[in-house]
């Protein structure tokens, strides 16, 4: 920010602050660089003598300073001190080192899309805090935005203007700057937070193009264009153009909110910084895309749930679907085969007392454990169908044959002993 030496008519001390340089002058007064006893630097604005004599202006000034004290947030110049009863009322804000956005563009030309989006996201977030405090800036423009090393800062946030002002001028001071005013300000309607959104859109267009979206001309010509003509955004990057155009809507209800602006501009800044494509999208399109993404995610969740249910159903049905009859037949066949093997062993006399263990073979259809199961495990026959009669007859035949063989063996043994 350019500094000038103090003039002869400039005060040297205001309140508890010592003045060092002139920072600029505007319709309301002169801005000085000052410092307190601790060395804290401030931007101190002293009201013009003719305005200081207007009691209505003093009343409005007191209300605006009170509202400005409530503003919190890192994107604004914090109010440090004020004297509303002084001969020439004054207020001091935190000094912000760095050029204004207007000076930066004038010296270096238009900014990159990523830089414009990053500045716009920070300004939108700062306006959220301003509006939550009940203040509408009403004069947001490139010269009221300072580019500090810690990010952009908003200065002169509406302290000079009354809330709901219904005229373009008041006590000789223009309410806003042509080319950055909202149509409702030109018409004399009450201002709202949407008014600042319009001004922010014009400011971002200026940063991207290096020129006002409503061109140049006298104040009357500029005000007519703001109300009746569409903005010229030919130099605005495609990633930003739809969003800037939405901010410059004639109807305040059609403009996005500052919170929506902050979120969308952060997304654009990140994509542009990474060199990713970012096609033009209107503010409402982002919400619709998020809804579609949520619907797709929900559909994927439902598909996963259905697949999991099918797998669980297959695992739960498989044991019940085993054919009981075939299982019983195979088990009975293995049981008969083992009984035949034992009978053959007994016929050779290797197990003379095996007949006492027959109760284990007298239970028809009692299946033994399947191969590979734990030894000693027994299966229950509850709910199973009876064995095939043909198999029962075979087993009875084998039993009779074995009994006869054993009887003949015992008789032969007794004959030999006699």
Positions annotated as catalytic residues are 139
What does the buried/exposed string (b/e) look like for 322-343 if buried means 16 or more CB atoms within 10 Å of the residue's CB? eeeeeebbebbeebbeebeebb
SS (H, E, C) 111-135: CCHHHHHHHHHHHHHHHHHHHHCCC
> Exposure of 134 by Cβ count < 10 A (0-12 exposed, 13-18 middle, 19+ buried)?
exposed
Give the SS3 label for residue 96: coil
Q: What distance in Å separates the CA atoms of residue 150 and residue 160, rounded to the nearest whole number?
A: 26
Give the SS3 label for residue 9: coil
DSSP assignment, residue 7?
Answer: P
Q: What distance in Å separates the CA atoms of residue 237 and residue 235, rounded to the nearest whole number?
A: 6
Angle, vertex CA 299, rays to CA 295 and CA 300, nearest 5: 120
DSSP annotation string for 357-417 = GGGGGSSTT---PPTTSPTT-----TTPPPPPHHHHHHHHHHHHHHHHHHHHHHHHHHHHH
Q: Give, for 264, the enclosing helix (H) or strand (E).
A: helix 258-273
Q: What distance in Å separates the CA atoms of residue 375 and residue 381, rounded to the nearest whole number?
A: 18
DSSP assignment, residue 4?
Answer: B
Other CB atoms within a 10 A radius of the CB of residue 211 amount to 15
Other CB atoms within a 10 A radius of the CB of residue 368 amount to 15
Of the chain, the end-to-end C-alpha distance in Å amounts to 139
> Exposure of 320 by Cβ count < 10 A (0-12 exposed, 13-18 middle, 19+ buried)?
exposed
Question: 212: closest CA among 191, 240, 234?
Answer: 234
67 and 133 Cβ atoms separated by less than 8 Å: yes
């Amino acid at each position: 920010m350019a500094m000038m030496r103090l003039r002869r008519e400039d005060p040297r001390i205001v309140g508890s602050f010592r003045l060092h340089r002139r920072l600029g002058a505007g319709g309301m007064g002169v801005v000085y660089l000052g410092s307190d006893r601790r060395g804290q630097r401030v931007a101190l604005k002293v009201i013009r003598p003719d305005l200081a004599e207007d009691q209505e202006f003093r009343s409005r000034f007191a209300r605006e300073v009170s509202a400005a004290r409530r503003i919190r947030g890192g994107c604004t110049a914090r109010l440090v001190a004020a004297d509303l009863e002084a001969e020439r009322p004054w207020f001091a804000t935190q000094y912000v080192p760095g050029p204004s956005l207007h000076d930066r563009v004038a010296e270096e030309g238009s900014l990159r899309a990523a830089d414009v989006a990053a500045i716009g996201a920070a300004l939108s977030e700062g306006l959220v805090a301003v509006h939550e405090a009940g203040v509408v800036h009403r004069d947001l423009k490139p010269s009221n935005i300072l580019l500090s090393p810690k990010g952009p800062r908003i200065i002169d946030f509406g302290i000079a203007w009354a809330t709901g002002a219904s005229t373009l001028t008041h006590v000789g001071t223009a309410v806003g700057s042509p080319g950055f005013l909202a149509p409702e300000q030109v018409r004399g309607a009450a201002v709202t937070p949407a008014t600042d959104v319009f001004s922010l859109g014009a400011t971002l267009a200026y940063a991207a193009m290096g020129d006002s979206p409503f061109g140049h001309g006298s104040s009357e010509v500029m005000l007519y264009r703001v109300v009746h003509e569409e903005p010229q955004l030919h130099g605005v990057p495609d990633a930003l153009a739809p969003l800037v155009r939405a901010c410059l809507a004639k109807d305040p209800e059609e403009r996005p909110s500052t919170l929506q602006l902050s979120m969308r501009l952060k997304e654009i800044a990140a994509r542009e910084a990474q060199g990713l494509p970012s096609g033009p999208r209107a503010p409402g399109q982002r919400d619709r895309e998020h809804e579609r993404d949520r619907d797709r995610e929900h559909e994927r969740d439902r598909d996963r749930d259905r697949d999991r249910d099918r797998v669980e159903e297959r695992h739960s049905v498989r044991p019940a679907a085993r054919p009981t009859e075939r299982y019983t037949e195979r088990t009975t066949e293995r049981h008969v085969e083992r009984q035949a093997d034992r009978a053959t062993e007994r016929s050779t006399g290797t197990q003379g007392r095996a007949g006492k263990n027959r109760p284990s073979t007298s239970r028809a259809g009692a299946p033994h454990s399947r191969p590979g199961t734990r030894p000693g495990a027994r299966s229950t026959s509850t709910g199973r169908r009876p064995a095939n009669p043909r198999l029962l007859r075979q087993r009875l035949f084998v039993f009779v044959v074995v009994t006869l063989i054993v009887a003949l063996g015992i008789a032969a043994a007794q004959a030999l002993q006699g």
